[in-house]
Amino acid sequence: MSFLFPLGFLALIGIPVLIFIYIIKNRYTEQTVTSTYLWTLSEKFLKRRIPINRLTGILSLILQILTVIAVALILAHPIITVPDSAEAYCFVIDGSGSMNIVQNGETRFDTAKKEIVNIIDDSMLGSSYTYICAGDTAARIFENDTDKSHAASLVEKSTVSYTSSTLTDALRIAQDYFEDVPYAKIYLLTDKDFENVQNVEVINVAEPVENYAISDVVYDLGEQAIKGKVTSYTGDVDELTVEVYLDGSGDAARTETVRGVDEEGKSAPIKKLEATEFSIDCKDFDFADARVRIAQKDVLDMDNEVVIYKLENQNFEKTLLISERPFFMTRLLNAVGLYDRSATDVGEDLLDVIEPSAYSGPAGYGLYIFDSLDAEFINDLEMPGEGAVWIINPRGNFKNSNFSYQGEVVRSDYEEEDPDVQEDDSFKSDLVGVFPDKTGRSSVVDEQLKGIPVGINYHLRRYSKLSVSGKYYELSTCDGNPVIFSGTNAYGNREAVFAFDLHEAGDLVLSGSLVLLVNNLISYSFPQVVNNTLYYCGDTLQINMITDCRSVRIETPSGSLKFPDTSSAVSEYVLDEVGTYKIYLVMKDESERLLNVWSSLPLEERNPVEPAAASFTISGTPSEAHLDGLLDNLLIIFIVLAVIVVADYGVYCYEQYQLR
């Protein structure tokens, strides 16, 4: 026998204390009386007492001492070692997404955890416990823990993930453990079937349940329709209903009944495990986000819905065009697909077009396009300290821009009033712009902006001669002068400059190259923060760090906040939950931009009864050895203690009765 806490015997100090108290308390009070004759005589009239009754005087003390001894024993926690009676348990729990399936009112993961806790509770004291959780990543949560309650509490605290199974990694960890502890009893708790298992006891927590899933949902820009697939995992089903909720609305905007198709092309039930396509027409409505879900209830809700966030709504901001003649610019913006609208739609949401007289200063736009405005007029107003700036056909020095105005270069025979001059080919050799200009500096940005397959020469009637300062990207030149360039102004805004009037650029405005250039400039002005809005759990989300962004805050579907590293150009974050991730970009001016992306449950985790999977084999020969078990059942001590306390109380009551 050994003692877990030998210091508990310090409680035995209570025995001399008790004896001291007993002596103090039981001191005889001395009194002088008239005569002791009657008292002495009374001895003869006392009933004869059996010798053991003489102990009654100190019976209470004896019982109290026994109580102290029992308490000391409890504190010292006596342990009896029982050789070869305990085990080294190793639990491998499947923490993949499918373990979220609810059956009998609890998730499979919870069921598995209960199984583990039950095994721990029923195990012999002295056993050791190792816990490997195959969640987002396979990790050994604890190893050779001999504290039952501690091990059970850690098991209880472990959480399921939403990603694909990492049981392969868990197997490797378990294999390493088995090589160190060949007598270990390894349990695998999962909802998957394995063809081959060795040295592992598999506890399959899966039960036949009903589950449907929606997958491969996309918004087809061309057909303006939401497309996707539905799958029944547990059996044939006549039909499934897909509902579409727009922009957070609680009412379904569209409801589509999905049925399968037989070989003859006729309507048929949706077959088990057979993905059935659906398409929902969305021509009649516009949306920023669309929640597409299966109406039928099943055991795994998180694979029943997908939220589509339009990428352009996520990445682009509103643009303000200040122009007296916005025709060409609006057409260019339409042509690049930024605003996929008919001409009449422009300006309704992402593009605002105003007259110069209506501009009174920056007003929260992401891009300001100043078209053919006098510098004096602009300089009298506040320049944007935010977003990007395009200056078209500058006529003077713009405050804090990256160029200085040197004057206007005009073709000598150009007569503005003479419309026929434009038709005369004889002047075309005078002012020839080169686009793109391949002679400039070469950088990633430069190459991106000039990423135009076919270059052209174009003719100008006139342009502003601008002297460029600071860092800029020269995109087009005319007679050696930069006429299209981009850079950063003194405010830090990304700036693009067209040193000519689009209305007088002749063949340039008719070329596809200019459309591509505008497209590139749009990307330059509005760097894409995310490239996609639909992910699977376990995917890595890449966030492009745009210039004005100071920090990034990610709110996960469960509501927790994450702050990814933003020190590099691309910040990465692994999506480990199912649902909408809200990405907040905190800009330099403390304003915030919100982007949403959707993370779906991985396809392989949707099947509630996973068909036979790969093997889970721990190689090696198990040892017959065991750990030494410990017996620390203190129940008997508690019972003895209780009896002693009750007896002591009985003696006390008897003494009080006697002294009446």
CB nearer to another protein: give 24 or 444.
24
What secondary structure does DSSP assign to 140-175, as a single string?
EEEEEE--HHHHHHHHHH----SS---HHHHHHHHH
Q: Distance between alpha carbon 644 and the CA centroid of its chain, in Å?
A: 59
CB of 37 to another protein, least distance (A): 4
By CB under 8 A, name the one of 149, 360, 426, 658 that touches another protein. 658
Give the 3-state secondary structure of residue 419: helix
Give the 3-state secondary structure of residue 205: coil
CB nearer to another protein: give 57 or 455.
57
Residue with tokens 């009985």: 650
CB of 22 to another protein, least distance (A): 11
CB nearer to another protein: give 47 or 297.
47
CB nearer to another protein: give 39 or 380.
39
Phi and psi at 395, nearest 5°, equal: -130, 70
CB nearer to another protein: give 36 or 469.
36
CB of 21 to another protein, least distance (A): 14
In order of 271, 406, 418, 474, 507, the CA distances from 409 in angstroms are 73, 9, 18, 18, 18
Residues 596-655 that bind another protein (CB under 8 A): 655
CB nearer to another protein: give 37 or 283.
37
Supply the DSSP symbol for 271: P
CB nearer to another protein: give 59 or 206.
59
Residues 56-115 that bind another protein (CB under 8 A): 57
CB of 25 to another protein, least distance (A): 9
Count of residues interacting with another protein (CB under 8 A):
28
Residues 46-65 that bind another protein (CB under 8 A): 46-47, 57
CB of 41 to another protein, least distance (A): 4
Residues 121-140 that bind another protein (CB under 8 A): none
Is the bond preceding residue 269 a cis peptide, omega within 30 degrees? no
In the sheet where 289-294 sits, what is the strand order? 252-258, 240-246, 289-294, 305-309
CB of 647 to another protein, least distance (A): 19
CB nearer to another protein: give 7 or 50.
50
User: Can you give 469-516 as a three-state secondary structure string?
Assistant: CCCEEEEEEECCEEEEEEEECCCCCEEEEECCCHHHCHHHCCCHHHHH
By CB under 8 A, name the one of 1, 7, 24, 43 that touches another protein. 43
Residues 3-42 that bind another protein (CB under 8 A): 26-42
CB 323 within 8 A of CB 334: no
Residues 466-505 that bind another protein (CB under 8 A): none
Phi and psi at 606, nearest 5°, equal: -95, -20
CB nearer to another protein: give 40 or 344.
40
d(CA 332, CA 423): 23
Residues 539-568 that bind another protein (CB under 8 A): none
Residues 323-382 that bind another protein (CB under 8 A): none
CB of 63 to another protein, least distance (A): 17
CB of 128 to another protein, least distance (A): 57
d(CA 430, CA 413): 9
User: Going by DSSP bridges, is the β-strand pair 78-86/2-3 parallel, antiparallel, or unpaired?
Assistant: antiparallel
d(CA 105, CA 99): 13
CB of 645 to another protein, least distance (A): 23
Question: What is the binding site for another protein (CB under 8 A)?
Answer: 26-47, 57, 655, 657-660
